[in-house]
Structure 1
Amino acid sequence: MTENEVHQQMECSGREDQAPAAAITLLQARYALPIVQALLGAPLRFNALHQHTAAASATTLRARLLALQKQGVVTHHGDHYALTSLGQGLQAVFSALCTFHQQHPDHDATLLLTALQRRYAMRIMRELMTGALGFNELHRRVDAASPTTLKRRLTDLERIGLIDRTAHSVMPPRTTYAHSSVGMDFSPVVGHVVQWSRMFQTAATDATPDTSAEPENGSGCQSQELNCPDGNPRPTTPN
Protein backbone atom coordinates (compact mmCIF):
# COMPACT_ATOMS: atom_id res chain seq x y z
CA MET A 1 0.00 0.00 0.00
CA THR A 2 1.55 3.30 -1.11
CA GLU A 3 1.53 6.44 1.05
CA ASN A 4 -1.06 7.99 -1.28
CA GLU A 5 -3.31 4.93 -0.91
CA VAL A 6 -2.90 5.08 2.88
CA HIS A 7 -3.90 8.74 2.80
CA GLN A 8 -7.03 7.92 0.80
CA GLN A 9 -7.98 5.16 3.23
CA MET A 10 -7.62 7.49 6.21
CA GLU A 11 -9.39 10.35 4.44
CA CYS A 12 -12.51 8.20 4.04
CA SER A 13 -12.49 6.81 7.58
CA GLY A 14 -15.13 9.15 9.00
CA ARG A 15 -15.11 12.43 10.86
CA GLU A 16 -14.70 10.91 14.29
CA ASP A 17 -12.71 7.89 13.06
CA GLN A 18 -15.23 5.68 14.84
CA ALA A 19 -14.81 2.58 12.68
CA PRO A 20 -11.00 2.42 13.02
CA ALA A 21 -11.29 3.07 16.77
CA ALA A 22 -13.75 0.20 17.16
CA ALA A 23 -11.52 -2.09 15.10
CA ILE A 24 -8.47 -1.16 17.16
CA THR A 25 -10.41 -1.82 20.36
CA LEU A 26 -11.16 -5.32 19.08
CA LEU A 27 -7.56 -5.98 18.05
CA GLN A 28 -5.94 -4.68 21.23
CA ALA A 29 -8.03 -6.89 23.54
CA ARG A 30 -5.78 -9.37 25.31
CA TYR A 31 -4.83 -12.41 23.17
CA ALA A 32 -6.93 -11.22 20.22
CA LEU A 33 -3.96 -10.73 17.90
CA PRO A 34 -2.25 -14.06 18.77
CA ILE A 35 -5.55 -15.91 18.30
CA VAL A 36 -6.19 -14.41 14.88
CA GLN A 37 -2.59 -14.89 13.78
CA ALA A 38 -2.61 -18.56 14.82
CA LEU A 39 -5.85 -19.19 12.91
CA LEU A 40 -4.60 -17.49 9.75
CA GLY A 41 -2.67 -20.68 9.01
CA ALA A 42 -5.50 -23.17 9.45
CA PRO A 43 -8.39 -24.07 11.78
CA LEU A 44 -7.19 -25.32 15.16
CA ARG A 45 -8.55 -27.30 18.08
CA PHE A 46 -8.76 -25.55 21.42
CA ASN A 47 -5.67 -27.20 22.96
CA ALA A 48 -3.52 -26.38 19.92
CA LEU A 49 -4.78 -22.81 19.96
CA HIS A 50 -4.00 -22.56 23.68
CA GLN A 51 -0.45 -23.69 22.97
CA HIS A 52 -0.02 -21.26 20.06
CA THR A 53 -1.28 -18.24 21.99
CA ALA A 54 0.31 -19.04 25.37
CA ALA A 55 -2.84 -17.75 27.05
CA ALA A 56 -2.70 -17.51 30.83
CA SER A 57 -5.55 -19.97 31.31
CA ALA A 58 -8.09 -21.99 29.36
CA THR A 59 -10.86 -19.87 30.86
CA THR A 60 -9.26 -16.66 29.60
CA LEU A 61 -8.80 -18.09 26.11
CA ARG A 62 -12.40 -19.34 25.95
CA ALA A 63 -13.67 -15.90 26.98
CA ARG A 64 -11.66 -14.18 24.23
CA LEU A 65 -12.73 -16.74 21.63
CA LEU A 66 -16.36 -16.22 22.58
CA ALA A 67 -15.94 -12.45 22.22
CA LEU A 68 -14.33 -12.86 18.79
CA GLN A 69 -17.18 -15.16 17.75
CA LYS A 70 -19.76 -12.56 18.77
CA GLN A 71 -17.83 -9.94 16.78
CA GLY A 72 -17.88 -12.12 13.67
CA VAL A 73 -14.12 -12.73 13.48
CA VAL A 74 -13.97 -16.37 14.62
CA THR A 75 -16.30 -19.31 14.05
CA HIS A 76 -16.53 -22.61 15.97
CA HIS A 77 -17.54 -25.84 14.24
CA GLY A 78 -17.17 -29.15 16.04
CA ASP A 79 -13.73 -29.34 17.65
CA HIS A 80 -12.16 -26.60 15.55
CA TYR A 81 -11.98 -22.83 15.64
CA ALA A 82 -11.49 -20.97 12.36
CA LEU A 83 -11.52 -17.44 11.00
CA THR A 84 -14.53 -16.07 9.19
CA SER A 85 -14.05 -14.12 5.96
CA LEU A 86 -13.89 -11.01 8.16
CA GLY A 87 -11.11 -12.56 10.22
CA GLN A 88 -9.22 -13.63 7.10
CA GLY A 89 -9.32 -10.00 6.02
CA LEU A 90 -6.79 -9.23 8.77
CA GLN A 91 -3.99 -10.92 6.80
CA ALA A 92 -2.88 -7.60 5.30
CA VAL A 93 -2.80 -6.01 8.76
CA PHE A 94 -0.51 -8.75 10.09
CA SER A 95 1.77 -8.53 7.06
CA ALA A 96 2.11 -4.78 7.60
CA LEU A 97 2.70 -5.25 11.34
CA CYS A 98 5.49 -7.76 10.69
CA THR A 99 7.09 -5.55 8.04
CA PHE A 100 7.08 -2.68 10.52
CA HIS A 101 8.61 -4.93 13.19
CA GLN A 102 11.43 -5.86 10.83
CA GLN A 103 12.07 -2.17 10.12
CA HIS A 104 11.81 -1.07 13.77
CA PRO A 105 12.37 -4.04 16.11
CA ASP A 106 12.56 -1.76 19.16
CA HIS A 107 9.05 -0.37 18.63
CA ASP A 108 5.98 -2.37 19.66
CA ALA A 109 3.51 -1.98 16.81
CA THR A 110 0.55 -3.14 18.89
CA LEU A 111 1.08 -0.35 21.41
CA LEU A 112 1.45 2.26 18.66
CA LEU A 113 -1.75 1.01 17.07
CA THR A 114 -3.63 1.26 20.35
CA ALA A 115 -2.40 4.83 20.87
CA LEU A 116 -4.09 5.81 17.60
CA GLN A 117 -7.43 4.85 19.09
CA ARG A 118 -7.38 8.02 21.19
CA ARG A 119 -9.40 10.98 20.03
CA TYR A 120 -7.90 13.04 17.18
CA ALA A 121 -4.81 10.79 16.90
CA MET A 122 -5.87 9.26 13.57
CA ARG A 123 -6.74 12.65 12.12
CA ILE A 124 -3.44 14.15 13.23
CA MET A 125 -1.53 11.35 11.51
CA ARG A 126 -3.70 11.77 8.41
CA GLU A 127 -3.12 15.52 8.13
CA LEU A 128 0.63 15.21 8.65
CA MET A 129 0.86 12.88 5.64
CA THR A 130 0.79 16.04 3.50
CA GLY A 131 3.91 17.38 5.23
CA ALA A 132 4.97 19.39 8.28
CA LEU A 133 2.36 21.69 9.79
CA GLY A 134 2.34 24.40 12.43
CA PHE A 135 0.16 24.08 15.50
CA ASN A 136 -2.52 26.59 14.43
CA GLU A 137 -2.90 25.12 10.95
CA LEU A 138 -3.05 21.62 12.39
CA HIS A 139 -5.71 22.76 14.87
CA ARG A 140 -7.86 24.08 12.03
CA ARG A 141 -7.48 20.93 9.94
CA VAL A 142 -8.06 18.48 12.77
CA ASP A 143 -10.95 20.53 14.17
CA ALA A 144 -9.97 19.62 17.73
CA ALA A 145 -12.25 20.72 20.55
CA SER A 146 -9.55 22.89 22.14
CA PRO A 147 -5.85 23.75 21.72
CA THR A 148 -5.19 22.01 25.04
CA THR A 149 -6.67 18.75 23.79
CA LEU A 150 -4.68 18.91 20.56
CA LYS A 151 -1.47 19.71 22.43
CA ARG A 152 -1.99 16.72 24.70
CA ARG A 153 -2.51 14.39 21.76
CA LEU A 154 0.53 15.75 19.90
CA THR A 155 2.61 15.19 23.02
CA ASP A 156 1.37 11.60 23.20
CA LEU A 157 2.26 10.93 19.56
CA GLU A 158 5.68 12.54 19.95
CA ARG A 159 6.39 10.52 23.10
CA ILE A 160 5.75 7.19 21.36
CA GLY A 161 7.85 8.21 18.37
CA LEU A 162 5.25 8.65 15.62
CA ILE A 163 5.79 12.38 15.08
CA ASP A 164 8.64 14.88 15.44
CA ARG A 165 8.34 18.41 16.82
CA THR A 166 10.72 21.06 15.47
CA ALA A 167 11.20 24.52 16.98
CA HIS A 168 12.32 27.03 14.34
CA SER A 169 14.59 29.94 15.29
CA VAL A 170 12.55 32.66 13.64
CA MET A 171 10.52 35.64 14.78
CA PRO A 172 7.87 35.12 15.79
CA PRO A 173 8.83 31.68 17.12
CA ARG A 174 7.33 28.79 15.15
CA THR A 175 6.97 25.09 15.92
CA THR A 176 6.06 22.48 13.33
CA TYR A 177 5.01 18.85 13.57
CA ALA A 178 5.73 16.09 11.06
CA HIS A 179 5.78 12.31 10.75
CA SER A 180 8.94 10.79 12.15
CA SER A 181 10.65 8.06 10.15
CA VAL A 182 8.85 5.60 12.43
CA GLY A 183 5.52 7.31 11.74
CA MET A 184 6.04 7.13 7.99
CA ASP A 185 6.88 3.42 8.14
CA PHE A 186 3.86 2.81 10.38
CA SER A 187 1.44 4.43 7.93
CA PRO A 188 0.79 1.19 5.97
CA VAL A 189 -0.35 -0.50 9.20
CA VAL A 190 -2.79 2.33 9.82
CA GLY A 191 -4.04 2.21 6.24
CA HIS A 192 -4.76 -1.52 6.38
CA VAL A 193 -6.53 -1.18 9.74
CA VAL A 194 -8.74 1.58 8.31
CA GLN A 195 -9.49 -0.58 5.27
CA TRP A 196 -10.36 -3.59 7.43
CA SER A 197 -12.44 -1.44 9.80
CA ARG A 198 -14.92 -0.84 6.99
CA MET A 199 -15.46 -4.59 6.69
CA PHE A 200 -15.79 -4.76 10.47
CA GLN A 201 -18.29 -1.91 10.54
CA THR A 202 -20.41 -3.58 7.86
CA ALA A 203 -20.34 -6.91 9.70
CA ALA A 204 -21.39 -5.15 12.92
CA THR A 205 -24.71 -4.04 11.41
CA ASP A 206 -26.56 -7.02 12.89
CA ALA A 207 -24.52 -7.34 16.09
CA THR A 208 -22.72 -4.26 17.40
CA PRO A 209 -19.64 -5.18 19.47
CA ASP A 210 -19.12 -3.65 22.89
CA THR A 211 -16.18 -1.26 22.47
CA SER A 212 -16.63 0.54 25.77
CA ALA A 213 -14.88 -1.96 28.03
CA GLU A 214 -11.53 -1.07 29.56
CA PRO A 215 -8.52 -3.11 28.39
CA GLU A 216 -7.46 -5.82 30.83
CA ASN A 217 -4.43 -3.94 32.11
CA GLY A 218 -6.45 -0.74 32.48
CA SER A 219 -3.85 1.38 30.67
CA GLY A 220 -5.41 1.50 27.23
CA CYS A 221 -2.31 -0.15 25.76
CA GLN A 222 -1.83 -3.91 25.62
CA SER A 223 1.34 -5.34 24.11
CA GLN A 224 0.79 -8.63 22.32
CA GLU A 225 3.05 -11.29 20.84
CA LEU A 226 3.40 -11.33 17.06
CA ASN A 227 5.29 -14.22 15.50
CA CYS A 228 6.81 -12.69 12.39
CA PRO A 229 8.74 -14.52 9.65
CA ASP A 230 12.08 -13.32 11.06
CA GLY A 231 11.48 -15.51 14.10
CA ASN A 232 11.50 -12.62 16.57
CA PRO A 233 8.14 -12.35 18.32
CA ARG A 234 7.13 -9.21 20.14
CA PRO A 235 7.21 -9.30 23.95
CA THR A 236 3.94 -9.88 25.79
CA THR A 237 4.68 -7.68 28.77
CA PRO A 238 2.12 -4.85 29.08
CA ASN A 239 3.52 -1.34 28.83
Structure 2
Amino acid sequence: MILEVRDVVRRFGGVRAVDGASLDVEEGSITALIGPNGAGKSTLFNVVSGFLRAEHGTVRFEGKRIDRSPAHRIARGGLVRTFQMPRTLARLSVLDNMLLAAQRPERARELLALVRLESHAADYAGVLSGGQRKLLDFARVLMAEPRLVLLDEPMAGVNPALGRQLVEHVLQLRRDAGTTFLFVEHDMDVVMEASDRVVVMSEGRVIASGTPAEIRADERVVDAYLGTSAPV
Protein backbone atom coordinates (compact mmCIF):
# COMPACT_ATOMS: atom_id res chain seq x y z
CA MET A 1 0.00 0.00 0.00
CA ILE A 2 1.28 3.44 -0.86
CA LEU A 3 -0.92 5.08 1.80
CA GLU A 4 -2.11 3.57 5.09
CA VAL A 5 -4.35 5.58 7.42
CA ARG A 6 -5.13 3.98 10.76
CA ASP A 7 -7.63 5.08 13.44
CA VAL A 8 -7.18 8.80 12.81
CA VAL A 9 -9.00 11.20 15.12
CA ARG A 10 -9.21 14.97 14.71
CA ARG A 11 -11.46 17.18 16.83
CA PHE A 12 -12.61 20.77 16.50
CA GLY A 13 -13.82 21.82 19.92
CA GLY A 14 -16.10 19.04 21.08
CA VAL A 15 -16.80 17.76 17.57
CA ARG A 16 -14.92 14.77 16.17
CA ALA A 17 -14.58 15.79 12.53
CA VAL A 18 -12.63 12.59 11.92
CA ASP A 19 -13.51 9.80 14.32
CA GLY A 20 -11.21 6.79 14.06
CA ALA A 21 -10.97 6.73 10.26
CA SER A 22 -8.88 4.09 8.50
CA LEU A 23 -8.24 3.55 4.80
CA ASP A 24 -5.69 2.05 2.40
CA VAL A 25 -4.67 3.25 -1.04
CA GLU A 26 -2.94 0.83 -3.39
CA GLU A 27 -0.01 2.05 -5.45
CA GLY A 28 -1.04 2.92 -9.01
CA SER A 29 -4.74 3.07 -8.14
CA ILE A 30 -7.39 5.77 -8.35
CA THR A 31 -9.40 5.88 -5.13
CA ALA A 32 -12.43 8.09 -4.51
CA LEU A 33 -13.37 9.36 -1.06
CA ILE A 34 -17.06 10.23 -0.88
CA GLY A 35 -19.64 11.17 1.71
CA PRO A 36 -22.13 13.90 2.62
CA ASN A 37 -21.02 17.41 3.50
CA GLY A 38 -19.51 17.43 6.97
CA ALA A 39 -18.47 13.77 6.78
CA GLY A 40 -14.83 14.64 7.50
CA LYS A 41 -13.36 14.12 4.03
CA SER A 42 -11.49 17.40 3.70
CA THR A 43 -10.33 17.24 7.32
CA LEU A 44 -8.89 13.79 6.66
CA PHE A 45 -7.17 15.17 3.55
CA ASN A 46 -5.67 17.94 5.68
CA VAL A 47 -4.35 15.39 8.17
CA VAL A 48 -2.88 13.14 5.49
CA SER A 49 -1.17 16.05 3.72
CA GLY A 50 0.21 17.58 6.92
CA PHE A 51 -1.92 20.71 7.13
CA LEU A 52 -3.56 19.40 10.30
CA ARG A 53 -2.15 17.10 12.96
CA ALA A 54 -4.02 13.98 14.03
CA GLU A 55 -4.78 13.72 17.73
CA HIS A 56 -4.73 9.95 17.51
CA GLY A 57 -3.83 7.37 14.89
CA THR A 58 -1.15 7.05 12.23
CA VAL A 59 -0.60 7.93 8.58
CA ARG A 60 2.03 6.05 6.58
CA PHE A 61 3.20 6.94 3.08
CA GLU A 62 5.28 4.26 1.37
CA GLY A 63 5.68 2.58 4.73
CA LYS A 64 6.99 5.64 6.59
CA ARG A 65 5.04 7.57 9.21
CA ILE A 66 4.21 11.09 8.09
CA ASP A 67 1.55 12.10 10.62
CA ARG A 68 4.07 14.24 12.53
CA SER A 69 5.69 15.76 9.44
CA PRO A 70 4.94 19.30 8.18
CA ALA A 71 3.13 19.73 4.88
CA HIS A 72 6.17 20.97 2.95
CA ARG A 73 8.21 17.92 3.94
CA ILE A 74 5.40 15.56 2.97
CA ALA A 75 5.12 17.28 -0.42
CA ARG A 76 8.87 17.03 -1.01
CA GLY A 77 8.59 13.34 -0.22
CA GLY A 78 6.18 12.74 -3.10
CA LEU A 79 2.66 13.26 -1.67
CA VAL A 80 1.01 16.42 -2.97
CA ARG A 81 -2.49 17.85 -3.01
CA THR A 82 -4.84 20.38 -4.54
CA PHE A 83 -7.52 22.33 -2.68
CA GLN A 84 -11.21 23.01 -3.26
CA MET A 85 -10.28 26.61 -4.07
CA PRO A 86 -7.30 26.83 -6.46
CA ARG A 87 -4.22 28.40 -4.89
CA THR A 88 -2.99 30.18 -7.98
CA LEU A 89 -1.48 33.67 -7.76
CA ALA A 90 -3.63 35.96 -9.89
CA ARG A 91 -0.95 38.59 -10.54
CA LEU A 92 1.63 36.12 -11.80
CA SER A 93 1.58 34.61 -15.26
CA VAL A 94 0.42 31.06 -15.75
CA LEU A 95 4.01 29.99 -16.45
CA ASP A 96 5.36 31.81 -13.40
CA ASN A 97 2.78 30.04 -11.23
CA MET A 98 4.20 26.77 -12.51
CA LEU A 99 7.79 27.84 -11.87
CA LEU A 100 7.04 28.59 -8.22
CA ALA A 101 6.90 24.84 -7.71
CA ALA A 102 10.23 24.19 -9.44
CA GLN A 103 12.50 26.14 -11.78
CA ARG A 104 12.07 23.76 -14.70
CA PRO A 105 10.66 25.74 -17.64
CA GLU A 106 10.62 22.82 -20.06
CA ARG A 107 8.74 20.60 -17.63
CA ALA A 108 6.34 23.45 -16.87
CA ARG A 109 5.54 23.89 -20.55
CA GLU A 110 5.07 20.13 -20.99
CA LEU A 111 2.51 20.09 -18.18
CA LEU A 112 0.73 23.19 -19.47
CA ALA A 113 0.43 21.41 -22.80
CA LEU A 114 -0.95 18.36 -21.00
CA VAL A 115 -3.79 20.42 -19.51
CA ARG A 116 -4.16 22.49 -22.69
CA LEU A 117 -3.11 25.76 -21.10
CA GLU A 118 0.08 26.29 -23.11
CA SER A 119 -1.52 29.12 -25.10
CA HIS A 120 -2.14 30.93 -21.79
CA ALA A 121 1.45 30.63 -20.50
CA ALA A 122 2.07 34.39 -20.66
CA ASP A 123 -1.40 35.38 -19.40
CA TYR A 124 -2.03 36.44 -15.83
CA ALA A 125 -3.53 33.54 -13.89
CA GLY A 126 -6.27 35.91 -12.73
CA VAL A 127 -7.84 36.03 -16.20
CA LEU A 128 -8.39 32.26 -16.31
CA SER A 129 -11.80 30.77 -15.67
CA GLY A 130 -12.41 28.88 -12.44
CA GLY A 131 -12.08 25.59 -14.27
CA GLN A 132 -8.85 26.66 -15.94
CA ARG A 133 -7.41 27.69 -12.57
CA LYS A 134 -8.18 24.20 -11.27
CA LEU A 135 -6.33 22.73 -14.24
CA LEU A 136 -3.41 25.06 -13.51
CA ASP A 137 -3.41 23.99 -9.86
CA PHE A 138 -3.43 20.37 -10.99
CA ALA A 139 -0.53 20.93 -13.39
CA ARG A 140 1.44 22.81 -10.76
CA VAL A 141 1.39 19.99 -8.21
CA LEU A 142 2.66 17.65 -10.93
CA MET A 143 5.86 19.72 -11.19
CA ALA A 144 7.14 17.76 -8.21
CA GLU A 145 6.64 14.47 -10.11
CA PRO A 146 4.65 13.09 -7.18
CA ARG A 147 3.85 9.46 -6.54
CA LEU A 148 0.54 10.21 -4.79
CA VAL A 149 -1.79 13.11 -5.64
CA LEU A 150 -4.73 14.13 -3.44
CA LEU A 151 -7.44 16.03 -5.32
CA ASP A 152 -10.00 17.87 -3.18
CA GLU A 153 -13.28 18.20 -5.13
CA PRO A 154 -11.61 18.66 -8.53
CA MET A 155 -14.94 18.91 -10.38
CA ALA A 156 -16.53 21.58 -8.17
CA GLY A 157 -17.24 24.69 -10.23
CA VAL A 158 -15.78 23.19 -13.39
CA ASN A 159 -17.80 23.09 -16.60
CA PRO A 160 -18.44 19.60 -18.02
CA ALA A 161 -15.89 19.92 -20.84
CA LEU A 162 -13.04 20.92 -18.52
CA GLY A 163 -14.16 18.32 -16.00
CA ARG A 164 -13.99 15.63 -18.64
CA GLN A 165 -10.54 16.88 -19.57
CA LEU A 166 -9.33 16.62 -15.98
CA VAL A 167 -10.60 13.05 -15.67
CA GLU A 168 -8.73 12.15 -18.86
CA HIS A 169 -5.52 13.64 -17.46
CA VAL A 170 -5.85 11.61 -14.26
CA LEU A 171 -6.42 8.39 -16.20
CA GLN A 172 -3.51 9.18 -18.53
CA LEU A 173 -1.07 9.88 -15.70
CA ARG A 174 -2.05 6.68 -13.92
CA ARG A 175 -1.60 4.75 -17.17
CA ASP A 176 1.64 6.38 -18.38
CA ALA A 177 3.45 7.31 -15.17
CA GLY A 178 1.87 5.01 -12.60
CA THR A 179 0.77 8.00 -10.50
CA THR A 180 -1.59 7.16 -7.64
CA PHE A 181 -4.64 9.35 -6.97
CA LEU A 182 -6.95 9.80 -3.99
CA PHE A 183 -9.76 12.26 -4.64
CA VAL A 184 -12.76 13.73 -2.87
CA GLU A 185 -15.72 14.16 -5.20
CA HIS A 186 -19.49 14.63 -5.13
CA ASP A 187 -20.06 13.89 -8.84
CA MET A 188 -21.07 10.23 -8.72
CA ASP A 189 -20.73 9.78 -12.47
CA VAL A 190 -17.05 10.73 -12.20
CA VAL A 191 -16.56 8.57 -9.11
CA MET A 192 -18.06 5.48 -10.70
CA GLU A 193 -16.23 5.97 -14.00
CA ALA A 194 -12.74 6.95 -12.88
CA SER A 195 -12.08 5.12 -9.60
CA ASP A 196 -10.84 1.62 -8.94
CA ARG A 197 -12.03 1.76 -5.34
CA VAL A 198 -14.39 3.96 -3.37
CA VAL A 199 -14.15 4.81 0.33
CA VAL A 200 -17.27 6.21 2.00
CA MET A 201 -17.25 8.46 5.07
CA SER A 202 -20.16 9.51 7.26
CA GLU A 203 -19.97 11.49 10.52
CA GLY A 204 -16.19 11.25 10.61
CA ARG A 205 -16.01 7.50 10.12
CA VAL A 206 -15.31 5.21 7.19
CA ILE A 207 -18.48 3.17 6.76
CA ALA A 208 -17.68 1.28 3.56
CA SER A 209 -14.91 0.55 1.08
CA GLY A 210 -15.01 -1.39 -2.15
CA THR A 211 -15.22 -1.31 -5.91
CA PRO A 212 -17.66 1.14 -7.50
CA ALA A 213 -20.09 -1.72 -8.14
CA GLU A 214 -19.88 -2.89 -4.53
CA ILE A 215 -20.43 0.62 -3.19
CA ARG A 216 -23.37 1.20 -5.49
CA ALA A 217 -25.05 -1.91 -4.05
CA ASP A 218 -24.16 -1.25 -0.39
CA GLU A 219 -27.31 -0.44 1.61
CA ARG A 220 -25.32 1.47 4.25
CA VAL A 221 -24.00 3.81 1.57
CA VAL A 222 -27.42 4.29 0.02
CA ASP A 223 -28.89 5.11 3.42
CA ALA A 224 -26.06 7.43 4.48
CA TYR A 225 -25.28 9.21 1.26
CA LEU A 226 -26.40 8.08 -2.16
CA GLY A 227 -30.13 7.85 -1.52
CA THR A 228 -32.52 5.72 -3.48
CA SER A 229 -32.74 8.23 -6.32
CA ALA A 230 -29.06 9.17 -6.57
CA PRO A 231 -27.71 9.08 -10.15
CA VAL A 232 -25.15 6.32 -9.92
Tell me the TM-score range normalised by the shorter chain: under 0.3
- Higher gyration radius (CA): 1
Q: Which has the higher strand share?
A: 2
Structure number with the bigger relative contact order (C-alpha 8 A, sep ≥ 6) is 1
Tell me the TM-score normalized by structure 1. Answer: 0.27
